[in-house]
Amino acid sequence: MFKLNTVTRGNPGHPPLIFLHGFLGAKEDWASMFPFFESRFFCIAFDLPGHARTAYSDDILSTIKTAIDGITSTKPLLIGYSMGGRIALQLQESASALIALSAHPGLASREEKETRKRIDQEWADKLLHLPFDTFLAEWYTQPIFHSFLHNPTFLKTLIKRRKRQNPKHLALVLKQMSLVHQKRIKCFLCPTLFMYGEEDWKYRQLYCKLPQTVAVRSVKDAAHAVHLENPTHCAEQILTWLDLDKENTDANT
């Protein structure tokens, strides 16, 4: 059986809460979030396939779904960031509720898909041909990570953590999990919260187009990586939404 390298926090008797990190990430990315949830949930974070200490998988979605189904007989709450959020959206049938942090619901036009395909291929080529340090330096100069440039100590620590990855595996993940291959999510099957950083103008505008059936919240003093840049406010917003959703559910039963 495929093994996902895993860390857990909290009481196994509590409702399961599964954290799915983004591209280049690792389970340790959620360390600052665990203290806010571990008294109420059994927190589980994976190194996703092709990342950190987990081997690459030719079918990442199926591998994660199998792992989730094997953890609990009840549907867990899923929290995912960026690529991890897109994975959560595609596995929403397996979730009791879903929180997508800076995660794209899917491309609408052929032009968008062609552009994204070209960009992802360029990054994959860089992973295979550039020194990994050079690739990471270029990756974090992308506009969505502009806030990192104002915190060089944080960025240095983050890059040091990212250097533990295998570039060849990451290139495979990038191509397999490209947004190009993701079906645009229009129907939401469980309570869903989308979150973006106040300084992330791209996702602020993107989430304005989401249907009114989902909730949208912003995280102050953050851009794209809301769970890393301001974990406290990010967690507080999530817990407030969860409590509100529970109140609404109780009121309707």
SS3 (DSSP) at 175:
helix
Residue-range domain boundaries for the chain: 6-107+183-251, 110-174
Span 150-154, average pLDDT: 88
pTM of this structure = 0.95
Instruction: Compute the average pLDDT of residues 93-119.
Output: 95
Q: How confident is the model at residue 151 (pLDDT cuts 50, 70, 90)?
A: confident
CATH class given for the domain over 6-107+183-251: alpha beta
Q: What is the DSSP string of 73-103?
A: SSPPEEEEETHHHHHHHHTGGG-SEEEEES-
Q: What is the pLDDT of residue 75?
A: 94
Give yes or no for a contact between 41 and 67, defined as CB atoms under 8 angstroms apart.
no
pLDDT digits (tens, 9 = 90+) for 200-253: 999 999 999 999 999 999 999 999 999 999 999 999 999 999 997 666 665 555
User: Can you give the pLDDT at residue 149?
Assistant: 83
